Chains A and B, each alone.
Chain A
Amino acid sequence: MARYDSLIDALGNTPLVGLPRLSPRWDAEHPVRLWAKLEDRNPTGSIKDRAALKMIEQAERDGLLTPGCTILEPTSGNTGISLAMVAKLKGYGLVCVMPENTSVERRQLLEMFGARIISSPAAGGSNQAVAMAKELAKQYPDWVMLYQYGNPANAQAHYEGTGPELLRDLPAITHFVAGLGTTGTLMGTGRYLRENVPAIQIIAAEPRYGEIVYGLRNIDEGFVPELYDDTVLTSRFSVTSYDALRRTRDLIEHEGIFAGISTGAILHAALSIGDRVAKDETATADIAFVVADGGWKYLSTGAYSGSLQQAAELLEGQLWA
């Protein structure tokens, strides 16, 4: 049944669709198939709805969030949009600390949902947003920082949701590929699949940004999310803007799926693994990957028009995942 009492209840249970044209071998005796989990079908259009709802529900259970509270969160966009929707429906305020080099659509959506945005400098990317949010949390102790990078409820949302849904829809799953940001998707889904599927491979795709994003003053200012546990992963790929854009366009061109740029990066990693497996003509694989969001929020970046090279240059210095 697809009837729900409220938007929040419509979260999850996203479709898993095959990629018959982009898979290395679809209809073959030994198929190597790709499957896209359409997380853009969530209420605000991204996978982050899962973590946002779970973090808020957990904070309510823990007594941290009470009616009228203000939530504070460092976010490059999607988590903020998801939190803003849930906060609006549940009657909380929201303050997002967001790097200034994120797309205009993300800002517009946040404002529409009634969130307050505090911009952090482009140089330093999300690291700077995290640092600023931690400072604000000290200044405003009555604000509740859910802190997606270290909040176990973020990964738990995927352990209880994304992972079981994938196994239900694709019992023969051999690989799971997702984006690495807070690491919540990969940690939660990865742990669930490792517990239930022998020899499953968990593959991370992380965005490789322009130089400004890595503008730390020294190495010790680096950041690894508290949720991250590298024993959950099998491999980890760094994907350039160019490759991410190329695959984002391939996805529309060949499969009709209009996805955001981070999904292009995830598909690039999935195809690298798929091609590696397919070198052995007798090998089979069912590779599931995450479509993290749709392309709508990135139209203003120029990602979908002009040459790939031009589009990649326009993305230089932008946070696109």
Chain B
Amino acid sequence: MAIEVKIPTILRTYTGGEKSVAANGATLIALIDDLDANFTGLKGRLITEDGSLHRFVNIYVNDEDVRFTGSLDTQLSDGDAVTILPAVAGG
């Protein structure tokens, strides 16, 4: 099952500069574990030591913020698009 994951500029040091990588997982946490297996250290930038999503990291599945769809347990399907972005100011 291939899911496209968009990587923000700030984390591309982990993906060899790649803007977008493919990963697998039936849930978001499984996907992040799979990412970390290929791009060591990435998980540590997304998830804090207590196992929750980093305060300044937003992850979207098909443009919807995962904090409102089950957080790290959000279910994924083939063809979903995952976007990782740092939290920035608006207004």
Contacts from B to A (Cβ < 8 Å): 8-11, 45, 54-58, 60, 63-65, 67-69, 83, 85-91
Please state if B57 and A222 are interface contacts (CB–CB under 8 Å): yes
Q: Nearest Cβ distance between residue A102 and chain B, in whole angstroms? A: 12
Q: What is the minimal beta-carbon distance from B26 to any residue of chain A, in angstroms?
A: 21
- A321 and B8 contacting across the interface, CB-CB below 8 Å: no
Inter-chain contacts of B9 with A (CB < 8 A): 211, 214-215
A73-120 contacts to B, CB under 8 A, are 74-76, 79
**Given B54, B57, B83, B89, which contacts A127 in the complex, CB threshold below 8 Å?**
B89
**Does A156 lie at the interface of the complex (its beta carbon under 8 Å from any beta carbon of B)?**
no
Assess the B90–A219 pair: CB atoms within 8 A: no
Can you give 28 A-B contacts (C-beta < 8 A)? A76-B91, A125-B89, A126-B88, A126-B89, A127-B88, A149-B89, A179-B90, A184-B91, A204-B65, A206-B90, A207-B90, A208-B83, A208-B85, A213-B88, A215-B9, A216-B88, A219-B54, A219-B86, A220-B56, A221-B56, A224-B55, A224-B56, A224-B87, A230-B67, A237-B60, A238-B58, A238-B83, A240-B63
Q: A209-B88, A214-B8, A219-B57 are in contact. List 9 more A-B contacts (CB 8 A).
A: A74-B89, A179-B90, A217-B10, A219-B54, A222-B55, A222-B57, A224-B56, A225-B91, A236-B65
> Which A residues are in CB contact (< 8 Å) with B87?
222-224
Q: Which of B8, B11, B45 has the most CB of A within 10 A?
A: B8
State how many angstroms separate the Cβ of A13 from the closest Cβ of chain B.
23
A129 at the interface (CB under 8 A from B): yes
Chain A: interface residue total (CB-CB under 8 A): 45
- Assuming the A-B contacts A214-B85, A219-B45, are A238 and B60 also in contact, with contact meaning beta carbons closer than 8 angstroms in the complex? yes
Instruction: Give A residues with C-beta under 8 Å from B.
Output: 74-76, 79, 125-127, 129-130, 148-149, 179-182, 184, 204, 206-209, 211, 213-225, 230, 233-240, 321
Write the chain A residue with the least CB distance to B64: A237
Contacts of B90 in A (CB 8 A): 76, 126, 179-182, 206-207, 321
The prevalent SS among residues of A at the interface is mixed
Judge whether B63 and A238 touch: CB under 8 Å: yes
**CA separation between A216 and B9, bound complex, in Å?**
9
Smallest CB separation, A194 vs chain B (Å): 15
**Which residues from chain A contact B88 at a C-beta distance below 8 Å?**
125-127, 209, 213-214, 216, 222-223
A130 to B11, CA, bound (A): 23
Alpha-carbon distance A213/B69, docked complex (angstroms):
26
A204 to B87, CA, bound (A): 14
List the 8 closest A-B pairs by CB distance, nearest first: A222-B56, A181-B90, A181-B91, A126-B89, A236-B65, A182-B91, A222-B87, A223-B89
B46 (CB) vs chain A CBs: closest residue: A219
B contact residues around A233 at 8 Å (CB):
68
Which chain A residues border B85 with CB–CB below 8 Å?
208, 214, 238
